[in-house]
Amino acid sequence: MKISVIGLGYLGATHAVAMAKLGHSVIGIDNDPAKAEALNKGEIPFFEPGLSQALSEVISQGKVQFQSSHDENSASADIHFLCVGTPQSPDGSANTSYLYAAIEDLAPHLSQTALVVGKSTVPVGTAQELKNKLQSLVGFEPRIVWNPEFLREGTALEDSLKPDRIVIGYWHKEDSLPLLVAYEKLIKAGSPVVELDVPTAELVKVAANAFLATKVSFINAMAEVAEVVGADAVALSKAIGYDERIGNKFLRSGIGFGGGCLPKDIRGFIARAEELGVGQALSFLKEVDGINERRRQRVIELANKELGSLSGKNITVLGISFKPNSDDLRESPALEIARSLARAGAKVTVTDPKALHGLSDENLKPEPDTYTSLENAELVILATEWDEYKKLDPVQAKSKVANATIIDGRNVLDVSAWQAAGWKVIALGRTIRNG
């Protein structure tokens, strides 16, 4: 099939490559000409494992091309995927203006038979408004379905090519048919298809992210309690996770969730529910957000307690991306902690295998080499659980620092090995006896 993918950020770039890998002929469109040009050269503007290689492959097969506006070629696409961002507005709601801009650009090129597929995360009700708007622009009833995307950064391509479900919301069942053809290989490989109405499809995405955020904040709330009573949130998580109704996934306590989706999506969901008069139903999500913010603050408190005062102290933060295998700094708890420490007067060195290029903070000293970053540190904070930090040699690390104390913000270190090497280990939600 011929496919256009509109918006080439994390979602769109990955989706364009995935569709090309499925054998379709893909035209990626982004109104930033520099982005389109870079992608044509095989350059991805962010780090995502495997994506660069897959892009080069589909470019060499002539399966994908990128451009900054629609043309005759893109106008003849069978499907147009809307993949633009819906960032958080200052009031917490989702900003859908890029979606409206995208359909205004698309309208003059839209044929009556082409299918428009919304993939962006939107407040429930947006698809209907977009459809009305598009109809007023084109003068016929456009074919639209809503097909939310659940990819995770770090495993984005794999998630796109092996989705655990394909959700399709439609007004007219026949409109889903071209999408079923486009995804035929995924469906044959076993991904279940869930067909439903459009508002439910919009809700599935935000509900899933709200649930995931709630799971993380739930275990982090238990961590708050555990810290007071001398209990262990990691052991607690393992023990409750054996109950299949609870499950052991997404129950890792630590400095909390960040990234371009979970924080923004719960705030957008709260804002939309309030607009709809059902704010009370989601008021618990405010606490989910609050628990998440408090975990970052807890690390600052622990650092303060450990060092007496933060002013002038050398602190090294291991990891600044919001999660490993990503260079995304959006809402990163690790980066936020590093910034707070610097604001309190600490001399903060930060290191990260992939994300340092995105750092624009003059108060943080970037150091790409992990062991060098530890030199003279009076406190080390493990903030993002990159494999290389999990595998750090505590003996070698100790030879670099001025004071061998580490806060494990992700509960990933082998505490006894670090203690045996002479470290004092502090962890979130755990009471660790040192020395």
Q: Which one of the spans 255-263, 299-307, 336-344, 360-368 is the region binding ligand UDX (CB under 6 A)?
A: 255-263
Q: Are 186 and 23 in contact (CB under 8 A)?
A: no
Q: How far is the CB of 14 from ligand UDX (least distance, A)?
A: 11
User: Taking the CB of residue 405, how many other CB atoms lie within 10 A of it?
Assistant: 20
Return the number of the residue (25 or 340) whose C-beta is nearest ligand UDX.
Answer: 340
Q: How far is the CB of 273 from ligand UDX (least distance, A)?
A: 19
Determine phi and psi for 360, rounding to 5 degrees. Answer: -125, 20
Among 169, 258, 319, 429, binds ligand UDX (CB under 6 A): 258
User: Taking the CB of residue 370, how many other CB atoms lie within 10 A of it?
Assistant: 20
Among 17, 36, 122, 151, binds ligand UDX (CB under 6 A): 151
**Per CB under 6 A, 100 contacts ligand UDX:** no
Determine phi and psi for 204, rounding to 5 degrees. Answer: -55, -45
Q: Which one of the spans 95-103, 160-168, 177-185, 247-255 is the region binding ligand UDX (CB under 6 A)?
A: 247-255
**Per CB under 6 A, 409 contacts ligand UDX:** no
**Per CB under 6 A, 294 contacts ligand UDX:** no
Cα distances (angstroms) measured from residue 33 to each of 38, 41, 112, 221: 9, 13, 28, 45
Active-site position among 6, 18, 151, 261: 261
* Alpha carbons 171 and 143: distance in angstroms, whole number: 9
**CB neighbour list of residue 183: distance below 8 Å, 6 or more residues apart:** 22, 166, 191, 193
* Alpha carbons 15 and 218: distance in angstroms, whole number: 32
Q: Which one of the spans 135-143, 147-155, 193-201, 367-375 is the region binding ligand UDX (CB under 6 A)?
A: 147-155
Return the number of the residue (250 or 371) whose C-beta is nearest ligand UDX.
Answer: 250
CA-nearest of 353, 308, 309 to 334 is 353
**Per CB under 6 A, 209 contacts ligand UDX:** yes
**Per CB under 6 A, 4 contacts ligand UDX:** no
CA-nearest of 338, 352, 266, 262 to 303 is 338
Angle at 85 between CA 80 and CA 87, to 5 degrees: 155
- The site for ligand UDX, by CB under 6 A, has a size of 19
Q: How far is the CB of 156 from ligand UDX (least distance, A)?
A: 8
Among 2, 133, 252, 400, binds ligand UDX (CB under 6 A): 252
**Per CB under 6 A, 152 contacts ligand UDX:** yes
Catalytic residue at 261? yes
Structure-token pair, residue 51: 């994506």
- Angle, helix 198-229 to helix 284-307, in steps of 10 degrees: 40
User: Taking the CB of residue 290, how many other CB atoms lie within 10 A of it?
Assistant: 11
Q: How far is the CB of 386 from ligand UDX (least distance, A)?
A: 11
**Per CB under 6 A, 201 contacts ligand UDX:** no
* Alpha carbons 55 and 34: distance in angstroms, whole number: 17
Determine phi and psi for 211, rounding to 5 degrees. Answer: -65, -45
**Per CB under 6 A, 428 contacts ligand UDX:** no
The full length of the chain comes to 435
Q: Are 197 and 203 in contact (CB under 8 A)?
A: no
Footprint on residues 309-348 left by ligand UDX (CB under 6 A): 322-323
**Per CB under 6 A, 390 contacts ligand UDX:** no
Among 118, 123, 254, 319, binds ligand UDX (CB under 6 A): 254
Q: Are 331 and 259 in contact (CB under 8 A)?
A: yes
Among 103, 179, 182, 212, binds ligand UDX (CB under 6 A): 212
Q: How far is the CB of 251 from ligand UDX (least distance, A)?
A: 5
Residues near ligand UDX (CB under 6 A) are: 150-153, 209, 212, 216, 250-252, 254, 256-259, 261-262, 322-323
Catalytic residue positions, numbered: 261
